[in-house]
Amino acid sequence: MQNLSTAPRLTTGRLVLRGPEREDLPAFTRFMTSAPSMKAQGETISAEQAWFGFLSGIGHWHWHGFGFFMVVDQRTGDAIGRVGLIKHAGWPDTELAWHLFEGAEGQGFATEAAIAVKTWASEDLGLERLYSYIDVDNTRSQAVARRLGAVTDGTRAAHDAEAEVWVHRMDSHGAFDRT
């Protein structure tokens, strides 16, 4: 297996966060094309679009020096989601985002991985502020944002009228090891 990006490897108590690898494409494609959470938000895409999205994510790492980490459960070795930093063209700020694959929700993985990414963003990248753009109806992601210390005033994202802007404090949690 080969890391296709410039992503470092971060480890937490239960997780490994690493760059995307070719072997991650099937799980990513399943998530993007058919996951109930994606269907509920009306955000499913075709397998071809998922392929382009996967490659764009790799390119994002090379362009910005950050992107989505694949989140791997240390116990099983399975990729269970993606958590990371994104900054699309035209976006004013860097977003901290998380997507857990079906079956991984509700176990604290998103929070654990996002704390590690926030700490890395602060300590290694020197970022002073992160944002999350969360759909107003996505109460589960809103709960993760609250656990991460993020707050919102209800302001909507310029690029998505259905998404509220959540602002993250950048205090260090020391929640991962660099390997």
Q: Using one digit for the tens of pLDDT, what is the confidence trace for 36-71?
A: 777 777 778 888 999 999 999 999 999 999 999 999
Query: The tokens of 92 are what?
Result: 């004013």
Q: What is the pLDDT of residue 176?
A: 47
Tally Cβ neighbours within 10 Å of residue 129: 12
Q: Using one digit for the tens of pLDDT, what is the confidence trace for 106-128?
A: 999 999 999 999 999 999 999 99
Sequence ranges of the domains in the chain = 10-178
Query: Which class would CATH give 10-178?
Result: alpha beta
Contacts for 152 with CB less than 8 Å, ≥ 6 apart? 134, 142, 145, 164, 165, 166, 167
**172 confidence band (pLDDT: 50, 70, 90):** low
Whole-number Å distance between alpha carbons of 57 and 69? 9
